[in-house]
Amino acid sequence: MKRSYKAPKWGQHFLIDEQIVHRIVRYAHVRAHDTILEIGGGTGNLTRALAKACEKLIVIEKDKRLVEQLSEIEHIEIIEGDALTVPFPSFDKTVSNLPYEISSEVTFKLLARPFTCGVLMYQKEFAERMVAEPGTREYSRLTVCLSYKSQCELLEDVPRTAFLPQPQVNSAIVRILPTPPQFEVYDEAFFHQFVRALFTQRRKTLRNALITTAKLLGADKLNETIDELPQHWLARRPYELAPPELGCLANYVFTRRHTT
């Protein structure tokens, strides 16, 4: 049957390179007993390969036109809806060509659920931020927050020609392995809030960045105790600190916020 490629309604770019499709399935080590969650089934190229490899495949798709095409694939369960709002079912692994506009939100929503492995397609620039090293231009809030409860590995760059229609950016395949917390955080919600605020001041010295961030987070008196921090930290920039160091700082601010 000839597959139809209608104009994408929500900026989707459908993966059409069959070799890359099969490599994605191999990267995830899909086994017959796995329950796989695919977000954004699109026209079903990856869906078909996954359906052949596992006994239970659940696909979330928002576009009604694409749901009709996906419904022709046997032995899959389709959830019609927005991946940002529909509850995720239980699953073992997630394998997806994610819509790039919602990459960050979906990734953190996935990490709030238990699973063993994710193999996901991202915009290359986004993928590089996921695996960046401290001190580099790509190192960001995303890097730090992901490293708290996961390990990310960039597996393969994917050219624009692998998609229809072709995107204006290159892509990359990333494997995410959820882990227990990699460093101590007193309050997880505050940690994410702190890192978000601190990285808005990423080019300032840590001393100045903390003073500004403290005001944003309701710890106005923090500047009175900043000198208690190691001096070799205070002269550095937020983007030069490793995730465990930023965890320590978040704990410090969290404690002072509740004691001053």
Region for 162 from its dihedrals, namely left if φ exceeds 0, alpha if ψ lies in -120 to 50, beta otherwise: alpha
Which of 6-10, 92-96, 101-105 reaches the highest mean pLDDT?
A: 92-96
Domain check: are 38 and 161 in the same one? yes
The label of the residue with tokens 């099969």 reads: 22
Whether residue 6 lies inside any domain: the answer is no
Whether residue 36 lies inside any domain: the answer is yes
Domain check: are 192 and 138 in the same one? no
Confirm if 94 and 118 have CB atoms less than 8 A apart.
yes
Which residue among 146, 178, 210 closes a domain?
178
Domain check: are 55 and 154 in the same one? yes
Domain check: are 140 and 198 in the same one? no
CATH code of residue 207:
1.10.8.100
- In angstroms, the CA 66 to CA 69 distance is 5
Number of domains in the chain: 2
Domain check: are 218 and 164 in the same one? no
Whether residue 52 lies inside any domain: the answer is yes
The label of the residue with tokens 């899909």 reads: 30
Is the peptide bond prior to 178 cis by the omega test (within 30 degrees of 0)? no
CATH code of residue 66:
3.40.50.150
Whether residue 135 lies inside any domain: the answer is yes
Q: What per-residue confidence (pLDDT) applies to 5? A: 44
Domain check: are 62 and 127 in the same one? yes
The pair phi, psi for residue 152, each rounded to 5°, is -115, 140
Domain check: are 194 and 158 in the same one? no
Which of 86-95, 98-107, 213-222 reaches the highest mean pLDDT?
A: 86-95
Domain check: are 150 and 201 in the same one? no
Three-state DSSP state, 198? helix
Q: Please, which pLDDT band fits residue 210 given cuts at 50, 70 and 90?
A: confident
Whether residue 9 lies inside any domain: the answer is no
Three-state DSSP state, 27? helix
Which residue among 113, 144, 178 closes a domain?
178
Domain check: are 106 and 227 in the same one? no
Whether residue 4 lies inside any domain: the answer is no
Q: What per-residue confidence (pLDDT) applies to 233? A: 82
Region for 35 from its dihedrals, namely left if φ exceeds 0, alpha if ψ lies in -120 to 50, beta otherwise: beta
Is the overall model pTM greater than 0.85, yes or no?
yes
Domain check: are 154 and 211 in the same one? no
H or E segment to which residue 121 belongs: strand 117-123
| 3-state SS string for 136-188 | CCCCCHHHHHHHHHEEEEEEEEECHHHEECCCCCCEEEEEEEECCCCCCCCCH
Q: What per-residue confidence (pLDDT) applies to 253? A: 85
pLDDT digits (tens, 9 = 90+) for 120-136: 999 999 999 999 999 99
Domain that holds residue 214: 188-257
Whether residue 141 lies inside any domain: the answer is yes
